[in-house]
Amino acid sequence: MNRAANKNKVFDHKDLLSIDELSAEDIMTVLNYAKMFEEVNERTIKKVPALRGKTVCNLFLEPSTRTRGSFELAEKRLSCDTVNAGGSASSTVKGESLVDTIKTLDSMKVDMFIVRHKYAGTPYIVSQHTNAAVIDAGDGKHQHPTQALLDLYTIWKKKGSFDGLKVGIVGDIVHSRVCGSLVPALAKLGAEVTLIAPATMLPACPEVLGAAHVTANLDEALPDLDVVYMLRIQMERLEEAPFPSLREYHLLYGLTKEREPLMKQDAIICHPGPINRGVELDSYMADGSHSVITDQVFSGVCVRMALIYLLLGGANDEISA
């Protein structure tokens, strides 16, 4: 398929199918643009005409509330026209193949696909059947690059730099697409990542993601960390029994008020949401002074505006009112 290159020189990409496509410089470009768009989101009228006339298709083949809402707001605040596909009423439920779904939607002349699916590699397949730009909004257990970018933006705002930053990621690493994007991105930017989980929740080769350390002991790791990134325990997967009980998981890996003294005073706590209170985090920590969880949600809109804007080649670098 003929692949039209993005003419925008500051960000020379057509798609974002995986975080590995972005250089450290590219990532910083997105974060800098996100900062500009943050200002738009603080206005009374939260909208710019930058992408008026562009059509974005939100193809969410797996249920999603926050990611989809965040993308939709970002698109609308850029003045894109949007169409939503997927979900329980979609034709894929009626047996249509993914490729046929893409061909159908592509025939409607959309400019961008935002793709969420429970199978790894789906955004790549989409990109093979359309000339439109494609953003991976989470593919199976592979990647979730915009989550990584919003996490990076949040961390960057709080910490100012990634160089030498010590980041610990705690929980179900093996099933986490967030880790698939965040760990390599942090490593690329110079941070030092420690994965903290029992072996039953680790992938075969965590080092290939870019993790510097792997440990099963949260209490030993905690005192060094500048960022503590808590992953969600996926209750729907508990039949696979990677740990004996929620109680024991909470005892060994829960970030609790009792563990707060082990943390650096200026350490921040991230979580991709939704939180299971009383499992990976207690309410004291989730709502406490270390927590930047709501900042992450806000960052999501800013970062997604920046990315859509950059990929769809916004007219110029001015963001006018």
Partner 1 sequence: MKYLLKGVRAVDPAIGLDVQRDIVIEDGVIAQVEASIAPTEDMIVLEREGCVAIPGLVDVHVHLRDPGFEYKEAIETGTAAAAHGGFTDICSMANTNPVTDEAAIIDYVIDKANEAGHCTVHPAGACTKGLAGESLAEMGDMVAHGAAAFTDDGRGIQDAGMMRRVMDYAKMFDKVIMSHCQDDGLVGKGQVNEGPVSTKLGLAGWPAAGEEVQIQRDIVLSELTGCPIHIQHLTTAHGLDLVRDGKARGVAVTCEATPHHLVLCDEDITTTYDTNLKMNPPLRSKADNAALIEAVKDGTVDVIATDHAPHAAFEKEREFELAPFGITGLETSLGIVNTYLVEAGHIDLNRMVELMCINPRKILRIEQVTLEPGSTADITVFDPAAKWTVEADGMYSKSQNSPFIGFELIGKPTDVFCKGKLTLEDGVVTA
**What is the contact surface with partner 1 in residues (CB under 8 A)?**
17-18, 20, 97-99, 117, 119-122, 124-125, 139-143, 177, 180, 203-206, 208-209
- DSSP states along 274-291: ---BTTTB-HHHHSSTTB
Which candidate, 310, 238, 315, 270, places its Cα nearest to that of 34? 310
β-bridge partners, 143: 139
Q: What are phi and psi of 269, to 5 degrees?
A: -115, 125
Which candidate, 4, 135, 29, places its Cα nearest to that of 72? 135
CB of 126 to partner 1, least distance (A): 11
CB of 104 to partner 1, least distance (A): 15
Give the up-direction half-sphere exposure of residue 77: CA atoms within 13 A in the CB hemisphere: 28
In sequence order, the 6+-apart residues with CB closer than 8 A to the CB of 144 are: 136, 137, 138, 177, 178, 180, 181, 272
The enclosing H or E element of 75 equals helix 66-77
| CB-CB contact of 272 with 234 (8 Å) | no
Q: Two tokens at 51?
A: 């992408």
CB of 233 to partner 1, least distance (A): 18
- DSSP states along 86-128: ESTTSTTTTT--HHHHHHHHHHT--SEEEEEESSTTHHHHHHT
Inter-CA distances, 291 with 172, 201, 228, 230, 282, Å? 20, 24, 9, 11, 11
Sheet containing 81-86, strands listed edge to edge, beginning at the edge strand earlier in sequence: 81-86, 55-60, 112-117, 133-139
